[in-house]
């Protein structure tokens, strides 16, 4: 994917140096031991107590004050960054891709009678707080409609490449575009309607799952629509990019994941759609560039 030199989005909260796997819990004993020589003299003055209080309040508010003194930048919680330069390059790529989504949807959505409100992308490591609860890297990338933010731990892409055989920068761009697709669904009111329907069904998980599959497939289609217009506008696609995205869509299909886990394929348990379905709707968006072709609820 051609992205070098592209505009980086400013709608980014980079929490990589302040997030971790503890979910706002107490620092480890090792960290506390290292801090003791700094904390001890502060305990002797009122000003020192004020500094400690401010640091504690900042920590539980989601900011790691250790980053100000050079601690917690490479190792956060249980997450260690093996290659800081590579991680920073990845964040630049994601910021640029988000910029491409903004440029496309700010132009395309008005053609459908909508104004685009740009979402925020939160980059973190290990875990962080979100408007939808605690965000863990184990959850994978997700969109939170409560705060209209996309949450992304970049280690997911290593998982996608190594354990799901879906490497490539455009595979990564597809993942972000899919989450932005959920943001568009939120602006359309689709997510709220789906949530109300789920609540009306009570404990029917089968119905709820089937409806959620439609939500996810539409987001795949929207990702394809974005790619269509982004390529027409910026010429971002290179040879093999489309195949990368389709391979990623297939690798995270529910049937693929169930088989990989050694389980029998159970369509009633699908929440994102089969590999075939995900590729189908992504290709539909890529081919048409038309949001009207993305009606998975029809």
Could you give the dihedral angle defined by the CA atoms of residues 99, 13, 213 and 288, in that order, rounded to the nearest 10 degrees? Answer: 0
Q: What is the pLDDT of residue 201?
A: 85
Q: Is residue 147 part of a domain?
A: yes
Q: Are both 47 and 136 inside the same structural domain?
A: no
Q: Are both 41 and 162 inside the same structural domain?
A: no
Q: Are both 155 and 211 inside the same structural domain?
A: yes
Q: Is residue 257 part of a domain?
A: yes
Q: Are both 288 and 251 inside the same structural domain?
A: yes
Q: Are both 36 and 103 inside the same structural domain?
A: no
Q: Are both 166 and 275 inside the same structural domain?
A: yes
Q: Is residue 275 part of a domain?
A: yes
Contact partners, residue 284, CB within 8 Å, separation at least 6: 221, 224, 293, 294
Q: Is residue 10 part of a domain?
A: no
Q: Is residue 54 part of a domain?
A: yes
Q: What is the pLDDT of residue 55?
A: 67
Q: Are both 119 and 50 inside the same structural domain?
A: no
Q: Is residue 11 part of a domain?
A: no
Q: If the chain, 298 residues long, is cut into consecutive pieces of 10 residues, what is the mean pLDDT of each piece?
A: 96 86 44 53 71 63 48 41 82 98 98 98 95 92 97 92 92 97 98 94 85 97 98 97 96 94 93 97 98 96
Q: What is the pLDDT of residue 83?
A: 77
Tell me the residue range of the domain where 216 lies: 84-294
Q: What is the pLDDT of residue 45?
A: 77
Q: Are both 56 and 113 inside the same structural domain?
A: no
Q: Is residue 77 part of a domain?
A: no
Q: Is residue 46 part of a domain?
A: yes
Q: How many domains does the chain have?
A: 2
């Amino acid at each position: 994917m051609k992205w070098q030199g592209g505009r980086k989005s400013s709608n980014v909260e980079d929490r990589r140096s302040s997030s971790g796997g503890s979910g706002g819990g107490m620092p480890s004993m090792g960290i506390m031991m290292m801090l003791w020589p700094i904390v001890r003299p502060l305990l002797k003055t009122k000003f020192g107590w004020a500094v400690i209080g401010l640091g504690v309040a900042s920590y539980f508010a989601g900011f790691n004050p250790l980053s100000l003194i050079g601690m917690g930048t490479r190792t956060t919680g249980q997450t260690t960054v093996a290659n800081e330069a590579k991680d920073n390059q990845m964040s630049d790529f994601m910021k640029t891709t988000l910029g491409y989504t903004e440029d496309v949807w700010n132009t395309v959505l008005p053609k459908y009678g909508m104004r685009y409100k740009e979402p925020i992308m939160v980059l973190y490591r290990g875990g962080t707080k979100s408007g939808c609860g605690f965000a863990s890297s184990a959850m994978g990338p997700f969109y939170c409609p409560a705060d209209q933010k996309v949450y992304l731990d970049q280690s997911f892409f290593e998982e996608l490449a190594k354990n799901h055989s879906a490497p490539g920068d455009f595979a990564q761009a597809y993942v972000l575009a899919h989450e932005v697709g959920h943001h568009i669904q939120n602006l359309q009111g689709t997510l709220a309607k789906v949530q109300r329907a789920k609540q009306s069904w009570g404990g029917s998980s089968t119905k709820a799952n089937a409806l959620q599959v439609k939500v996810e497939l539409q987001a795949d289609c929207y990702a394809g629509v974005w790619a269509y217009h982004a390529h027409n506008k910026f010429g971002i696609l290179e040879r093999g990019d489309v195949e990368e995205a389709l391979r990623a869509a297939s690798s995270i299909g529910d049937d693929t994941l169930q088989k990989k886990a050694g389980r029998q394929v159970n369509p009633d348990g699908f929440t994102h759609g089969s590999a075939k379905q995900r590729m189908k709707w992504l290709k539909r968006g890529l081919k048409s560039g038309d949001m009207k072709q993305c009606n998975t609820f029809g």
